[in-house]
Amino acid sequence: MTSAALKKQFDGYLPLLSDKQQALVLDMVKSLLNIDNEVKRITRKQYNKEIDEAVDRVEEGNFITHEDALKELSR
């Protein structure tokens, strides 16, 4: 699909959304383009530290299964 066709289709759908939905779409587009200057990226070192901590928690048994999470959400 060409970019002109995509734009035309997008422009057709956008007015059908509520103001709140349009704002959400805009936020998603900004997120995809990394336009939001308030977003603070973490360093690779911090990322790896958080991953290691998460692995440690799982190995210690400190986790919830997907099945249990679904049960909690359905209450």
Per-residue model confidence as pLDDT tens digits over 6-26: 889 989 998 999 999 999 999
Q: Tell whether 1 and 35 lie within a shared domain.
A: yes
- The pTM of the full predicted model, rounded to 2 decimals, is 0.42
Find the mean pLDDT for residues 40-62: 93
> According to the model, what pLDDT value does residue 75 have?
83
Q: Tell whether 32 and 52 lie within a shared domain.
A: no
Q: Tell whether 1 and 14 lie within a shared domain.
A: yes
Q: Which domain holds residue 6?
A: 1-39
Cα distance between residue 52 and residue 55, in whole Å? 5
Record the tokens describing residue 21, joined without a space. 């939905």
The structural domain count of the chain equals: 2
Angle at alpha carbon of residue 36, lines to 3 and 13, rounded to 5°: 35
Q: Tell whether 75 and 55 lie within a shared domain.
A: yes
Find all residues with CB under 8 Å of 64, minimum gap 6, and list them. 72
